[in-house]
A and B are shown apart, each in its own frame.
Chain A
Amino acid sequence: MKEIVVISGKGGTGKTVVTSALAYSLGRDCVLADCDVDAADMHLIFQPQSQTEEDFYSGEEPEVDPERCVQCGLCVEKCRFHAITMDADSVRIDPFACEGCGLCSRVCPESAISMIPRYTGKSYQSAIRIGTTMVHARLLPGGENSGKLVAHTKKIARKLAEEQYKPYVLVDGSPGIGCPVISSLSGADYVLLVTESTQSAFHDLKRVYELVHKFRIPAGCVINKHDLNPGLTSEIETYLVEMQIPLLARIAYDENVLEAVRHGRTINEYDPGTYHEIIEQIKHEMKI
C-alpha cells in the first residue's frame, strides 16, 4: 500500500480539485483522506452517502475547582502563555491562549487545578459514490493540535486500506509548511505538489519542497492555471528540472473547474473530454 500526499504550500492552488479527480480515477483502489482538517472541503465534492462519526480528544485543558482555589496567583505567575488571569474572586483560563502544558496544575499548592481531556474536533468515515471510503475530520474553530487530528485521520485511512487490500491512500493536505503539513508528510510514499502560475504559488512551492526534501520523499508537480503567466510557468519548469522534480501535467485556467465544484463533481467526471486524459497522465507519470 502506497500513501500519496497532495500539498501546495499556498492555499487555493487546486489541491482538492486535483486530489478529488485522482480519487475518482482510482475509485475502489484508494482510501481517500481529507487532512486539511481546519478547512476540509472534499465532502462538498463527494457528498457522503453514509457516515460514522466520533469525537476527537487531543491534549488536555485545565479546570479550576473554585472550592479549593485560594487565589494565591502562583499559576498566573508560572503560565508562560499568559492564559490565566485572576480577579477579586476567581481564576480564569483563556482556552485560546492555553497550550495544555499542565504546569499550572502541577504547581498549584492547593491541587485546585485538574487537567481534563480537550475536545478538539470530530473524525468521520464516509461511504462515497466512487465505491470507497473517505476519512475526514472537522477541527473545532480555533482548535489546537491540528497535526494530531491529521495523524489520526491518516492512521484510520491506512488501517482501512490495509484491511480492504486497497493499493493507495490518497491524502489531501493543508496549506503551509507547519504542524499539519509536517504531520501529513510523516509516512508518505509520494508527494504530489500542486502549484499555479503565480509568483506567490511559486515562492510557496519552493518553501514546501524544501520541507519535502528534508523528509526525502519522492515528489512530482502539477502546474495549474499554467497559461495565466506563461513566462513564469517556464521559470517554474526550469526550477523543477533543477530540483529533479518530474512535471506530471499542466492544467489551463478554466472556469469549468468551478462549475464542476458547484455541481459537486470532480473535473474528470464533469468534463471528461478535457480532464480524463490529464488525470490519467498524472497517475501514469507518478510511477507508483
Chain B
Amino acid sequence: MKIAFASGKGGTGKTTLSVNFALYLSRDHDVLLTDFDVEEPDSHLFIQGDLLKQIQCNTDIPQVDETLCNGCGKCREVCNFHAITQLGKHTMVFPQLCHSCYACIEFCPQGALKMVPEELGMLSEYDEGGLRFLEARLKIGKEMAVPLIRQASDYIDRHHADRLIIIDAPPGTSCPVVETMRYSDFVVLVTEPTPFGLHDLTLAVETVRLLDRPFGVVINKDDGKHNDVVKYCEDESIDILARIPHQRTIAELYSRGLTLYDKNPDFYRQITILKNNLKSRRVL
C-alpha cells in the first residue's frame, strides 16, 4: 500500500504529516517513508537515521559523434523539445531541454548519436530504528522532476515492495504531483482553513479525481472558527480524516526540525484518528 500526502498549496503540512505518520506507524508496521518533493526535499531534516546507500540517478542525453555526423539536421527536425540545434553543419544539444525520448537516435541516418548518462539527482536511503527513509534529491539547475520521481518509484518497487510506503509529495497540481499520485494507492490531501488553502485544495481534488485515486482530507492549522474547508468537503462528499489544531507551539516545534507525534498530545490524538480512519477504509 502506498499513501501519498499531497496538497495544491505549499506549506500546508505535507512533510509534517508524512514524517510524523511514518514514524508513528513504524512502531508496529514495516514502513518506508519517501520524499518525492525532489526539488526541495525537507523530510530528512526530521529524520536522524543512518545512511545505508546512495545512488546517483541519471538521464540519458544524446551526444554527437562529430566524425559520423554529416549535419543533415534530421535529429533537430524530429526533436519536439527543441533540444537540438544546428550552427552550419555543427549539431548542438541542450541537455536541459531533452526529455530522453530517443527520437533523435531513432532517426539519425548516420548512427552519429548515442545516449550518454548525465547526472539528474541522488537517491539516499536511511534507516532510523526500523523506519526506512528514501530521499530523492534533484540536482540544482535541473528542470525535470518527473524522471527522478520515476526512478525513485522503480527503486522502491524493486527493494521495498513489501513495505507500507508513505510518500511526501511535491506541491502544486502539475506533472511531478501527477507522477506521485499515479504511483500511489491512496492520497491524503493536506490543507489549511484559509482562502489559499481552500482554493488550492479544490485544484488538488480535481487532479486526484482525474487520476481516479481514492482520497481524503486532513485539515491542518485548524482554528475551529473558519469552516469553509469543512463545508466544501461536505458539499463534495469528501471524507475529513483528521483535524490538526492550530497552535503556535506546533509551528515552533516544526521550525526547529522536531517531530510532533511524540511531543504534542493534540497532534498525537489526531494522527491516531487519521490511522483509525485509514484502517476503517481498509487503506491500512
CB pair B99–A211 under 8 Å, yes or no, is no
Contact of B45 among A41, A203, A207, A228 (CB under 8 A): A203
Q: Which residues of B contact A211 (CB under 8 A)?
A: 140-141
**Using an 8 Å CB-CB cutoff, how does the interface string of A173-198 with B read, 1 for contact, 0 for none?**
01111111110000000000000111
Knowing A139-B173, A198-B255, A199-B255, the reply to whether A39 touches B142 (Cβ < 8 A) is no
B44 to chain A: closest residue by CB = A203
User: Contact flags (1/0) for B64-83 with A, using CB distance below 8 Å?
Assistant: 00000000000000101100
Contact, CB under 8 Å: A96 / B178: yes
Residue among B45, B171, B178, B255 with most chain A CB within 10 A: B255
How near does chain B come to A8, taking the closest CB pair, in angstroms?
8
Contact status B251-A253, CB under 8 Å: yes
Give B102's nearest chain A residue, CB to CB: A80
Contacts of A80 in B (CB 8 A): 100-102
- Chain B residues within 8 Å of A262, by CB: 194-195, 226
B277 contacts the other chain (Cβ, under 8 Å)? Answer: no
Tell me whether A100 and B80 are in contact in the complex, defined as CB-CB below 8 angstroms, given that A106-B103, A261-B195, A262-B194 are known contacts: yes
Minimum CB–CB distance for B232 against chain A, Å: 14
Q: Inside 8 A of B173's CB, which chain A residues have their CB?
A: 38-39, 139, 141-143
- Cβ-defined partner of A103 (8 Å) among B42, B101, B145, B182: B101
Which of A11-19, A26-34, A124-132, A269-277 touches B? Answer: A11-19
B252 touches A229 (CB 8 A): yes
Over the window 169-206 of chain B, the binary record of Cβ atoms lying under 8 Å from chain A Cβ atoms (1 yes, 0 no) is 01111111110001000000000001110011001001
Q: Flag whether B8 is at the interface (Cβ < 8 A).
A: yes
Find out whether the CB atom of A39 lies under 8 angstroms from the CB atom of B195: no
Among the listed B140, B141, B200, which residue makes an inter-chain contact with A39, where contact means beta carbons less than 8 Å apart?
B200
Determine the distance from Cα of A226 to Cα of B210 in the docked complex, in whole angstroms.
Answer: 39
* Chain B proximity of A214: nearest CB distance (Å): 6
Contact of B203 among A38, A179, A199 (CB under 8 A): A38
Q: Is the CB of A220 closer than 8 A to any CB of chain B?
A: no
A41-B226 Cα distance, complex, nearest whole Å? 18
Could you say which of A44, A97, A142 has the most chain B C-beta atoms within 10 Å of its C-beta?
Answer: A142
A178 near B252 (CB under 8 angstroms)? Answer: no
Are A59 and B40 in contact (CB-based, < 8 A)? no
* B174 near A143: Cβ-Cβ < 8 Å: yes
In the assembled complex, the CB of A98 is this many whole angstroms from the nearest CB of chain B, namely 10
B194 and A142: CB pair below 8 A?
A: no
Query: A102 to B10, Cβ gap below 8 A?
Result: no
For B99, give the chain A residue with the smallest CB separation: A99
Tell me which residues from 125 to 184 in chain B have a Cβ below 8 Å from any Cβ of chain A. 138, 140-145, 170-178, 182
Are A178 and B144 also in contact (CB < 8 A) when A10-B10, A80-B101, A96-B178 are? Answer: yes
**B254 to A, closest residue via Cβ:** A198
Q: Are A176 and B39 in contact (CB under 8 A)?
A: yes
Taking A12-B10, A101-B80, A182-B143 as contacts, is the C-beta distance between A177 and B175 under 8 angstroms?
no
Say whether, besides A179-B143, A200-B45, A262-B194, A142 and B178 are in contact (CB < 8 Å): yes
Is B109 engaged at the interface, CB distance under 8 Å to the other chain? no
For residue B12, CB closer than 8 A to chain A, the reply is yes
* A88-113 residues at the B interface, CB under 8 angstroms: 96-97, 99-103, 106-107
Indicate whether B207 reaches chain A with its CB closer than 8 angstroms. Answer: yes
Residues of A near B176 (CB, < 8 A) are 178
- The answer to whether the Cβ of B248 comes within 8 Å of any Cβ in the partner chain is yes
Contacts of A11 in B (CB 8 A): 9-12, 171
For B111, list chain A residues within 8 Å (CB).
none
User: B51 within 8 Å of A by Cβ?
Assistant: no
CB distance from B280 to the nearest CB of A (A): 28
Contacting pair B10 A141 (CB below 8 A): no
CB nearest neighbor in A for B143: A179
Contact present for B81 and A101 (CB under 8 Å): yes
Residue of A nearest to B226 (CB): A262
Q: Are B106 and A107 in contact (CB under 8 A)?
A: yes
Give chain B nearest CB distance to A251 CB in angstroms. Answer: 14
- A111 → chain B closest CB, angstroms: 15
B203 CB to nearest A CB, Å: 6
Does B224 reach chain A (CB closer than 8 Å)?
no
- Which A49-66 residues have C-beta < 8 A from chain B? 59-60
Within 8 A of A (CB), among B10-58: 10-12, 15, 37-40, 42, 45
Decide if A204 is an interface residue (CB 8 Å cutoff). Answer: yes
Q: Which 3 A-B pairs have the closest CB atoms?
A: A11-B10, A12-B11, A101-B101
Residues on B facing A (Cβ under 8 Å): 8-12, 15, 37-40, 42, 45, 78, 80-81, 96, 99-103, 106-107, 138, 140-145, 170-178, 182, 194-196, 199-200, 203, 206-207, 210-211, 226, 248, 251-252, 254-257
**A-B contacts, 18 listed (Cβ < 8 Å):** A12-B10, A38-B177, A38-B203, A39-B8, A39-B171, A101-B99, A103-B106, A106-B78, A141-B173, A141-B210, A142-B175, A147-B143, A177-B138, A198-B257, A199-B42, A225-B255, A228-B255, A232-B255
